[in-house]
Homo-oligomer: A and B are copies of this chain.
Amino acid sequence: MVLFDLLGRRWALGIIWNLSTGPQTFRALQSNCDSVSPTVLNTRLKELRECGIVRNGENGYELTEEGEDLFTYLQPLGHWSQSWSHAAKLKEVQ
């Protein structure tokens, strides 16, 4: 339940998702996340760092081993969301 509290905050999932493609600078991450305000981005990064999911490495922010691990469990959601948004759009049309 603690995990849901952490992930159930705005942009937490998006940040992890974006970092899965590789290390990014603060600003790059910001623009990739639909221009989140730096205030929130910094807060989320701080939380995720404290939980050992993200770290500030050589090439900017990146997922830790635990973060990568978490992402592998998160990835299936991406596939599901595609078919889901597809079905949702079909319903809109009706």
Contact = CB atoms under 8 A, between A and B. Distances in A.
Interface of A: 1-4, 7-14, 17, 34, 51-52, 66, 69-70, 73-74, 76-78, 80-81, 84-85, 87-88, 91
A68 to B, nearest CB: 12
Contact of A77 (B3, B51, B66): B3
* Number of copies of this protein chain within its complex: 2
B2 A91 contact: no
A14 B4 contact: yes
Contact of A8 (B14, B70, B76): B14
A3 B84 contact: yes
Given A70-B80, A73-B76, A73-B77, A52 B88 contact: yes
